[in-house]
Structure 1
Amino acid sequence: MKQIFPGLIAAMALGALPVAAQEAAATPEAAVAVEAVSADVVYIFNTLLFLIGGFLVMWMAAGFAMLEAGLVRSKNVTTQLFKNISLFAIAGIMYWLIGYNLMYPGEWTMPGVLGELFSPKGLDPVGAGVVDDGYSAGSDFFFQLMFCATTASIVSGTLAERIKLWPFMIFTVVLTGIIYPIEASWQWGGGFLSEMGFSDFAGSTLVHAAGGFAALAGAIVLGARYGKFRSDGRMQPMPGSNLALATLGTFILWLGWFGFNGASQLAIGSVNDAADVSRIFVNTNMAASAGAVAAVITTQLMFGKIDLTMVLNGALAGLVSITAEPLTPSIFAAVLIGGVGGAIAVVVVPMLDKLKIDDVVGAIPVHLVAGIWGTLIVPATNPDTSYVTQAIGVIAIGAFVFIVSFAIWTILKMTMGIRVDREAEITGLDISEMGMEAYPDFVQAK
């Protein structure tokens, strides 16, 4: 009875709220109060969307770490795990210190560029959120930061098993502090692509293809792993160490993508926004499912057997493909978009092998090529865009990121070197770079 009685009182109070609101609205002062409460609720829900979406995207860092740890050989697992946690930490500091203000140029003017660029991002004062902003400044910064870190994670897997740690971390500083914020500002910061009508809802090109272009530049400058391509031109398979970890990583990424795409609605303080976020969730999931199924079918047709690693990347490619526009497609359209992305993830791999581009985890097919596909197909479901504008956006972002990244990788190669020596690569980077092994109780094949 003690538990039921307070519950009855609460139910009666809730039931009386609409009547009280109607009576309160009879006076101007009360009407203003009702509007203020409504604005507070919108602020709270929008802020929660950013925070929940942000920590879901942050969880994707664990997904990348597990995926890469599973797809590299056991002698390189520790190094790969270190790279993933270090790049996430570097991204956090660089985006706070430089990247955020560079990405949103409206916060600084040309006469004081340097002063503002190196003015770290602040927060709302304690207990003093600005309701008129629609969400807290801290939640927005936190959410945007997670996208910056994701861009760097894409580079890590491609260059695995032969890159030195310090050059990689230096490149991560430049990528997260300068390269990503500049190209993202062209769209999300109100730059020229935004003014042209370019559309990339959650970053198929701005995040994923950008990371893919940076990875491609690094793979070209770095070169392939020793033994990957034989003298007769054939490719030597180098299986990963733990497909269970790779599968776990894929499911973590799949989960995190609901925050990646869903919270990119940027609002959930109204019925319409809530419905749109739900629609985004459904389309995101369906595209991933279609990508995985398409990869199953494609691998069976191309190789005569199903390849689990290709299926994992097929699901991720489906996710990348739908990221450019997860709101406007029907479920059927989302399935088609994700399915093509999954097939792309399979078909592009042998093409890279022919070009002797060594991508350890398949990030270039998944993030770069599928990201371009997803961006170019946006006008098929969103009439407010055009194929020409979408192509211009992809070319502009791709050219900028690839050229600048290629230059930085080349400078690092000429100055401090970016690749471990052959003996260290054969022994494994866990010993040569880290001095510790992920699986010390197992004898590793040299």
Structure 2
Amino acid sequence: LHGVNSANLFGFFVFQAMFCGTATTILSGAISERASFLGYLILAVFVSCLVYPIFGRMAWGGAIEAETVGWLNQQGFVDFAGSSVVHSVGGWVALAAIMVIGPRIGRFNKGLPPIQGHSIPMSTIGVIILWFGWIGFNAGSTLAMNNAVPKILLNTNTAAAFGGLTTLILTWILMKKPNVPHILNGVLAGLVSITASCHAVEVYQAALIGVIGGGLYLYSCHILEKFEIDDVVGAVPVHGVCGFWGTLAVAFFGNSDLLGTSLNFEQQLLIQIMGSILCFILAFGGTYFFLLLIKGIVALRVCKEHEVQGLNVTEHDASTEILDLLYSMEMQKNNGDFSEQVYVEPNTEVGQIASEYNRVLVKVNEEMNISLEARKLVELEHKKTTDSINYSSLIQHSILPDNAYFKNNFSDFFTIWKPRDVIGGDIYLFNEFEERNECLLMVIDCTGHGVPGAFVTMLVKAIERQVIGKINQDPNIEISPAWILGYFNKAIKTLLHQESEKSKCNAGFDGGIILYNKNKNLIKYSGAELPLFLIQNGAIEVIKGDRHSVGYRSSDFDFIFKEHEIIIDKDSYIYLTTDGYIDQNGGGKNFPFSKSRLKETLLNNHKKSFAKQKEILLQINMDYKGQEETTDDITFVGLKIETKL
């Protein structure tokens, strides 16, 4: 423009600069929310300095001089106000940028709702402003105030209206409700579609162009969704596709006299197609390869953290009152600290929200302080209870027999004692009678778990001391496991007043008692519900206990337990366990482990050392249980008796 003094040329330059700016800004909406500002600036310079001037020169060269010096307009190509030169250029550049930069985070994740626009009212106002501004675009392209302007204005508004109505009806039919964002873009689709031919068509033709433009817009949106191309504002369907359609509409509907190209329909259609394809090649192809070229040099996309936080903050440090409030609330949530109130912006709606939020914070802090004091009291009481239970566990451990007793009497052994809780209702007891050369093992499964079960074990221990006292007082007494179970039965029922059905207490145990006489190589066994597992000569036998528990209200006071005698004339492997191991649920289908599995396990491993057997049994129990809860306390004793030759 240096040395130019023509007012018309200056005005035309400004007019074209606005067109160029429009083509450039079409791109910004399509790649918003993830493109870097620097990347957009570089692309804007590329479009405004190369793509738009080159294609604009081809299509409009000589327009100010009323001459045809561009290659396309010399061939008869007509694009009155920029369906291709402005809108298709912007749309195809946007498509290239979208494909290179990629979709927004979460845009096409299955199960997530679609990302909604910020404000439909603001979008509506924006479309109304664009609609009004289109008067300047289309009517201004006459470069004069003449008789053609009124019809151009009428055609422009008609196409816009019918484009919006078309999308309203189609979305109502296809989506069951009229979709406002699509309706707004339908108006723009009609405007873009009529832009190339607004000077050369009749009003009814303008309406049809708008209808087709609205339909093409919706279909194009569907195609982009199908291929997961994330166009935020629908720039490609509105400007790229409808710009392409609007350029072809010149041939389909344009008055040849008004077009002034002296071409027939076929010739006009051919040059319109050629021009549209050339526009696509230059705008899309040129931009796509340019972006691939600079992609490794310039960060076209922001990092994930910045995208999630928002580009207005991370790229421009431009926050708002609502963002500041949300940030303060987020910090309180993350830190778990609600003691500080948020800032109240005076005389704004956000300030009113912040003020009400602060009132809630005051109430929350009052309730939290009350809860905190209550929590401290609960924690203190919990600590006292936990300390008592832990000390009770020490006491319960202290009454278990030392392993030295087992070493003195058996070739090999193992013991497993695993309460379900810190303390439990299982216990095993062992006594030696050196003068008799006998030993006595009791495995007891008392009522319940935890504290109640532990109380019953202490009662069992007390009664056991009575039994042992009676045996030690009379050297001639014959020790009988069956008699001992009967004694326990009567003692528990008497001590807990469980002879009567009106008794509120109902405690007792299932158990098994083994007496080993080393002089006679004889085992005596009596069981209350618990079986004894015996392996001799590679075969396993289950010696069942009586179907009668000890001490409960339902137990017969005078019940006589059965006593089994086992001659140890060969190497023998003896196992006695409470039902906690057998009844453990798990194994995928959440069924109990069962006696049959335990028999198989014992038979397969009885030749191994008892330390190894213990390890195997514990591992099998853990593997079978999996993620299920522990069902019951577990007590498991294994004994090996070798034949003395």
Normalising by structure 2, we get a TM-score of 0.47
Equivalent residues, number: 311
**Distance (whole Å) between structure 2 residues aligned to residue 400 and residue 322 of structure 1:** 23
Q: Could you tell me how far apart the structure 1 residues matched to 2:286 and 2:252 are?
A: 32
Aligned residues of 1:235 and 1:353 also touching (Cα < 8 A): no
Q: Secondary structure at the match of 2:147?
A: helix
Matches within 5 A, 1:39-438: 121-122=1-2, 124-125=4-5, 136-189=8-61, 190-230=69-109, 232=110, 236-268=113-145, 274-382=146-254, 383=256, 384=261, 386-438=268-320
* In 1: Cα distance, 2:163 partner to 2:205 partner: 13
CA contact (8 A) 1:123 1:137 kept: no
> 1-side partners of 2:214 and 2:319: how far apart?
34
Structure 1 stretches of 4+ moved >4 Å:
none
- Quote the sequence identity (%): 37
How far off is 1:123 after superposition?
A: 6.8
Alpha-carbon shift at residue 142 of structure 1 (Å)? 1.0
Q: Distance in 2 between matches of 1:241 and 1:278?
A: 36
Please state how far the C-alpha of 1:136 moved relative to its aligned partner.
2.2
How do 1:5-16 residues align onto structure 2 when only pairs under 5 Å count? none
The CA distance in 2 between the partners of 1:225 and 1:179, in whole Å, is 26
In 2, the alpha carbon distance for the partners of 1:199 and 1:391 equals 11
Letter of the aligned partner of 1:197 in structure 2? G
For 1:396 and 1:343, how far apart are their aligned partners in 2? 24
Q: Once the 2 structures are TM-superposed, how far is the Cα of residue 256 of structure 1 from its aligned partner?
A: 0.6
Give the unaligned 5+ runs of structure 2.
62-68, 331-645
Separation in structure 2 between the aligned mates of residue 162 and residue 404 of structure 1, nearest angstrom = 22
Q: What value does the CA root-mean-square deviation take over the aligned residues?
A: 1.7
Displacement of 1:440: 3.3
Between the aligned partners of 1:322 and 1:441, the Cα distance in structure 2 is 44
- Residues in 2 aligned to 1:236 and 1:214: alpha-carbon distance in whole angstroms: 28
Distance in 2, Cα, partners of 1:376 & 1:152:
23
User: Which has the larger Rg?
Assistant: 2
Opposite residue 395 of structure 1, the aligned amino acid is: I
Deviation at 1:334, TM superposition (A): 0.4
Matches of 2:318 and 2:247, distance apart in 1: 42
1:236 and 1:349, CA in 2 relative to 1: closer, same or farther beyond 3 A?
A: farther
Rounded to whole Å, the distance in 1 between the matches of 2:147 and 2:9 is 24
Larger helix proportion of the pair: 1
**Distance across 1 between alignment mates of 2:316 and 2:3:** 37
Higher-RCO chain (CA-CA 8 Å, sequence separation at least 6): 1
- Read off the aligned partner of 1:355 and give its amino acid letter: F
User: How much has 1:361 moved relative to structure 2?
Assistant: 0.4
CA distance in 1, matches of 2:14, 2:325: 40
SS of the residue aligned with 1:414? coil
Seen in structure 2, the aligned counterparts of structure 1 residues 235 and 311 have a Cα distance that, compared at 3 Å, is farther
TM-score, with normalisation over the residues of structure 1?
0.67
- 412-421 vs 332-341, which moves further: 412-421
Bigger share in strand: 2
Deviations 1:99-143 (A, max 9, x none): xxxxxxxxxxxxxxxxxxxxxx24754xxx5xxxxx622111111
Letter in 2 for 1:431: V
